[in-house]
Structure 1
Amino acid sequence: MARSQQTFNKIEKEKARLKKREEKQKKKEARKAEQKSSSKGIQFAYVDAYGNLTDTPPNPEDKIKVDASSIEIGIPKKEDSDIEEVDPVRKGKVSFFDNSKGFGFIIDSENQEKYFCHVSGLIDQIAENDKVSFELERGMKGMNAVKVTLI
């Protein structure tokens, strides 16, 4: 004679599952009833002039009319009065130059910045402590001195 397969624990779990299902069904029905009773329509939220959310619509008289052609997209062009005439030729002193490797450094006399100089950017032969004039060009690791000539 075999024993029953229903244990006390299985029975309790089944009761809890059924109770949970009934509660879920009751909540669902309550939500449906609440939705039918409060059918006011879609609620709106408006944004006022200061960026705050409000429930009142904005006043159409406060609207500002903007001409689409007056909107500039991108960076505004500089006028001739904004551009200063800057001399691209700078003066400096050679702090280090290695002829065998073909590079060196020049210290600008105005701002004491050190700029890299390659042999391909030389017009005259230079050596350490020479006074030179040069122009700057953006390189991969910063500004490079090019068109280097002796003074």
Structure 2
Amino acid sequence: MAKSQGNFNKKESEKKKQQKQKEKQEKREERQANNKKGKSLEDMMAYIDEDGNITSTPPDPSKKKEVNLEDIQIGVARQTDDDEQDPIHTGVVTFFNESKGYGFIKDQKTQESIFVHVNGLLDRVKEHSKVTFEVEMGHKGPNAVRVKLVK
């Protein structure tokens, strides 16, 4: 008895290959049938309504709002000089580890927790001490410097 030339796996892979080619040809024909290259400019236009949604209908001119160019802000708002006028802040020491030499001060105005190192202290502080301090930006965030006890 002679062996057959093609085995089952070869036949299956050939069937899959032919099926893929057939599907690819059908997709190509469908794309060509639905080709929209001949559309007019009006058909391709998209509009944004007053709520910011994209629509195919043009906006109603009666709902048009006037906007001053000076009111449009691009980017981040300029920083006000409030921080520059009063560089001295007041706060309460919420945590201070004397053995490691660091702690945190809670600013009374902003309720922000600010890191303080023993090198930035002018007076000896403990937890719950009222202090005045200045803020400088360190490479990891704001640091309290020139920390004094409030008497």
Normalised to the residue count of structure 1, the TM-score between the two structures is 0.44
Structure showing greater radius of gyration is 1
Normalised to the residue count of structure 2, the TM-score between the two structures is 0.44
